[in-house]
Amino acid sequence: MYLIQRPQYLQLLIDTIQTPDIKVITGIRRSGKSKLLEIFMDYAEKNIKNANIIHIDFNNVDSEPLGEYHALNQYVMEQYNAGMENFLFIDEVHLCKGFEKTINSLHASQKFHIYITGSNAFLLSSDLATLFTGRTFEIHVFPFSFREYLTYFNYSNTDEAFDKFTKEGGMAGSFTYMTEQQKYSYIKDVFNTLIVRDIKYKYKIRNTELLEKVSNFLLDNISCEVSTHTVANTLTSNKEKTNNKTVGTYLNYLCNAFAFYKIRRYDIRGKKYLSSQDKYYLADHSFKYAELGTKNIDYGRIYENIVAIELLRRGYEVYTGVLYKKEIDFVAIRQSEKIYIQVSDDISSESTFEREISPLLAIKDAYPKMIIARTRHEEYTYDGVIIADIANWLCDFSH
């Protein structure tokens, strides 16, 4: 396995070098956080004059003596060089007991550029303000995008590559395995470790079996409307003892660990958020295959999952829209930009095309509207609606 640069994340790190924030790299297990840190360290060494690199990797046995915050603080201060730009990189920082005390102290000294990664169970986005007294800047890392997948494998045939990406996903650790069975075995292990080790350990969950059943429900219903009531009723009907409150708590845990992303519903006409049912999308669609198998694949739902994660990766706030009781797959907002999106597997039949385009044509504002499907054609417009092939759209950052 070799490294690719992941320029969108690397540029974020470069652009914020001179900010005083604590840079925290977050994301699902095995999404490439440590590799990104490695890439940025290499950049700093080669491009920043007077860079003094202090690197601590708590995955390394040699770092075990630093596993208590006083020892960590002493070591870092010993490595400090007053005449240089001091960059502190700490990988798996949560393995140091009381790490936040040292990080806060070092940050207050204003002597270091601080970059840290850690388990998603210990560096939750919601916990950062509580852990650190200084301001944090979060770099959220997703599994490989389709563009990165193309780069990694050096594919020249986009259509062929997309068909493979649809099945293999973007968990780069699986790319070194030769067979589909081996790849899914790796991906399943990553997902199960996330649930059993990260979530169970973080929240001291006793009933891991119930957590797994809630997770499997979401896996089987990606891109569908889901409520805590629906999940609880389904599990109860299968003689599982639970309730709405417990299910809601477990749903939050799964999202906190970046296994799933919750997308809220938005009333387009009323311009308000709806609190009834949400949709949940997987951090990487390959987890569904690894856990539940590849029989009866619903490509429409898989494509919708791929588009949802890509929109989040591109920095959009993403909602699912409702207009006159019709569903719009996504309302994507980024600063003053807004775009309405429908996602479909195949729009070659007249009835399917009409079903997908009619909700978009009913929206009367001037923001762009788009259907993303597996057309295998160049982009075109129909009554002002952009029709884009999903593989081409994933490669194109202009939208």
Q: How far apart are CA 344 and CA 146, in angstroms?
A: 18
Among 41-55, 218-232, 268-282, name the most confident range.
41-55
82-111: average pLDDT:
95
Whether residue 284 sits in one domain with residue 238: yes
220-249: average pLDDT:
91
Q: What are the helix and strand counts (H, E) for the chain?
A: 16, 14
Q: How far apart are CA 242 and CA 309, in angstroms?
A: 30
Whether residue 182 sits in one domain with residue 65: no
Structure confidence at residue 241 (pLDDT): 87
Contact indicator for 58, 24 with CB cutoff of 8 Å: no
User: pTM of this prediction?
Assistant: 0.93
Predicted confidence (pLDDT) per residue in 237-265, tens digit: 988 889 999 999 999 999 988 999 999 88
- The number of beta carbons lying within 10 Å of the beta carbon of residue 296 is 6
CATH of the domain at 41: 3.40.50.300
Domain presence at residue 369? yes
Whether residue 371 sits in one domain with residue 338: yes
Q: 304 is in which domain, residue-wise?
A: 146-395
Contact indicator for 28, 258 with CB cutoff of 8 Å: yes
Length of the chain: 399
Beta-strand pair 272-282/380-382:
unpaired
Predicted confidence (pLDDT) per residue in 377-392, tens digit: 999 999 999 999 999 9
φ, ψ dihedrals at 57, nearest 5°: -115, 110
Euclidean distance between the first and the last CA atom of the chain, given in angstroms as a whole number: 31
Domain end point (choices 116, 141, 166): 141
Contact indicator for 94, 123 with CB cutoff of 8 Å: yes
- The number of beta carbons lying within 10 Å of the beta carbon of residue 189 is 14
Q: How far apart are CA 69 and CA 136, in angstroms?
A: 19
Q: Is the pLDDT of residue 276 over 80?
A: no
Q: How many domains does the chain have?
A: 2
5-31: average pLDDT:
93
DSSP 194: I
